[in-house]
């Protein structure tokens, strides 16, 4: 189309001005809606970033608490292990002392009077099963 063929009369200019003005107003309204949506998105983005920071901080707090708890349990376990190791050593030492006392008490009796053969037969052929120690509890 050529501009010279279009008639430039007043109603045609008013119509074209109305169309362009309407399109301009629609574009302005659209721009305002987009600006409002953009500001809402910025606000929600900042809220989400704050929420992520709070969750990260809570996660670090929980992790440090669990590490402290784990360290405390490890210290308690080490102290229990050391205490029971000490008790085991003391028990073994008492057992050795009792064993030595029994050996020293039995030796003089053997020197003076040997036991009768019936007692020796009982000692040599044990009829009873030996008493086994109680196994330790396995706590998982």
Is residue 21 pLDDT above 80, yes or no? yes
What percent of the chain has pLDDT above 90? 60
Give the confidence band of 105 by pLDDT, cuts at 50, 70, 90: confident
Torsion angles phi and psi, residue 106, rounded to 5: -80, -35
Token pair for 92: 């073994």
Tens digits of residue pLDDT in 60-98: 999 999 999 999 999 999 999 999 999 999 999 999 999
Q: What is the pTM of this model?
A: 0.43
Torsion (CA) 84, 89, 93, 96 in degrees, nearest 10:
100
Give the confidence band of 48 by pLDDT, cuts at 50, 70, 90: very high
Q: What is the mean pLDDT of the chain?
A: 83
Is residue 109 pLDDT above 80, yes or no? no
Query: What is residue 55's predicted lDDT score, i.e. its pLDDT?
Result: 96
Greater confidence, 81 or 130? 81
Burial of 67 (0-12, 13-18, 19+ CB in 10 A): exposed
């Amino acid at each position: 189309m050529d501009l010279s063929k279009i008639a430039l009369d007043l109603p045609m200019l008013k119509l074209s001005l109305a169309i362009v003005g309407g399109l301009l107003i629609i574009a302005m309204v659209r721009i305002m809606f987009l600006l409002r949506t953009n500001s809402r998105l910025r606000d929600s983005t900042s809220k989400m970033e704050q929420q992520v920071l709070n969750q990260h901080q809570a996660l670090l707090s929980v992790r440090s608490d669990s590490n402290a708890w784990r360290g405390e349990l490890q210290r308690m376990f080490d102290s229990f292990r050391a205490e029971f190791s000490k008790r085991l050593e003391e028990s073994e030492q008492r057992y050795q002392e009792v064993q030595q006392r029994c050996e020293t008490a039995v030796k003089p009796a053997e020197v003076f009077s040997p036991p009768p053969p019936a007692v020796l037969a009982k000692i040599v052929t044990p009829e009873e099963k030996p008493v086994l120690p109680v196994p330790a509890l396995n706590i998982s």
